[in-house]
Structure 1
Amino acid sequence: MNMKEILMVFKDLQQMVPKTEIAMSEPLSKHTFIKTGGNGDVFIKPFDVLDLQKIVKYAFSHDIPLTVLGKGTNVIIRDEGIRGIVVSLDQLTKVSVTGEIITVGSGANIIDVSRIALQHQLSGLEFACGIPGTVGGALIMNAGAYGGEISEVLTSATVLTQSGELRTFKVGEFQFGYRSSIFANENLIILEAVFSLKTADPTIIKAKMDENTFLRESKQPLEYPSCGSVFKRPPGHFAGKLIQDSGLQGTRIGGAEVSTKHAGFIVNVDNATSTDYIQLIQHVQKTVKEKFGVDLETEVKIIGDDS
């Protein structure tokens, strides 16, 4: 959009959802873990689900591109930024616990939800205690770690379609696979998730969470900004091992570097740009393909204007 169009959308949304925080030409590097990315034309944080539904319907009816961000943990936004409306869901964080059921807004941190489960002596989310993303992002990716994944505990999810229609999905409809789901396949906007857990001894729950936290802190390069595991696990292989055996650890393009601590991570060591990241990803893919004949598919999502 040009500046005149951006201003028009900005004013329309101000009138439509007056309680909502809205900005023009927002630096999206402020909203990603790797601290890179260009500007979003119109950036907005809906106050509640009703406001979000209004925004989605407005974008659909005016044929304006709409992009939804969580915490920006598993995403690279190109340096050219994102055209149209960018929506952050970090206001949708309500959590409620009833017996063994946790109902939570999509913008809540999945780590926080795992800790709430511990407080209520509920087991099933221990694997998520180190996943630095939102509930919505975890559903989209069928996030998993240390032997557990979202598909094992999710019982229902409320979403918006791209046209603003409200829908609820239940067990059997999620189409979960390895790092995939119906939410990703149909580009759905997750509003709320319902997890079914099991009552257990809190000392055992905490011990498992402590173990997972130790493993994460000892193996992952948490001292630098990163977007988590860059590549999916290729069938019959481990991405990190292939990258390590290709001699790529420490390889740097601009300020982005293949981690010397864990080869499956690319870290921002010196004011990297998204272009640095993307070029390094492509270099890693090309090298691994040449050495081992294996195609590495990205787990991280690369989005934004590539014109």
Structure 2
Amino acid sequence: MAPAASLPLCLCLLLASGFGHAGKLLVVPMDGSHWFTMQMVVEKLIHRGHEVVVVIPEVSWQLGRSLNFTVKTFSISHTLDDLNREFKIFAQTQWKTPEQSIRSLMTGSAKGFFELIFSHCRSLFNDKKLVEYLKQTSFDAVFLDPFNVCGLTVAKYLSLPSVILAKGIFCHSLEEGAQCPSLPSYVPRLFSKSADTMTFKERLWNHLIYFEERAFCSYYLKTAVEIASEVLQTPVTLTDLYSPVSIWLLRTDFVLEFPRPVMPNMVFVGGINCLQRKPLSKFPSAVRGSSYDDG
């Protein structure tokens, strides 16, 4: 398993033009549990001397709760109660359909939560003062969570290198963006419940899931892509947004993945969420000399 220390190292290599140079990083995070891991990395980078600016909505669950980095906020049209209500609807939908599929994640009332998250990007770019600040500030790279697509839009708008941190990329964006083959005949899709040694029937079913995924992902991410096209003032696709990514930091381990090719800019950083335990204390001499040693 790649040690957690490799993650800051990869970012430092991207940011630094020399061994003694501290970089300036723009962070576009995702709220909730997505932020916990990213915050650990951000604070580690700050500890190593890098300057960090985090761009967040003025209403959020966990974002911005740190005094170690510069926070830039932008106004949004909904309240925290609205966010809580939409997430509750989304969560209840998932509990009602334990047999998850791509369709259950993207249809019905659950889609309202994602639409709310995607709308943040339009609000960000409507803040002209903030956008001008981002344009005038000489950032070295954008560190982002790919879930809401906004970080990718910001990176493309500012023409900056981008670093993704994620356990996995929803839909088919990882293999297409990184040009990493993931053939349905050999690599099971999400929710397929198949192993990598599939029968002909399972491979056929895997292909059907793949085509369903492509159809529904386009529907699910439609608003995010439309906002990106508005901001960039040209029609864009998901591939246009994901392809320029400089480094993919995947919060998993190679041995936990199905066999598939891995591109040079994909780095496995499994274990970063593991708590570093203290060494076990030594047994007192009285215990070492007890009957337990007589075995």
TM-score interval (norm. to shorter): under 0.3
**Is the radius of gyration larger for structure 1 or structure 2?**
2
- Name the TM-score, length of structure 2 as normaliser: 0.27
If asked which structure has higher relative contact order (CA below 8 Å, sep 6+), I would say 2
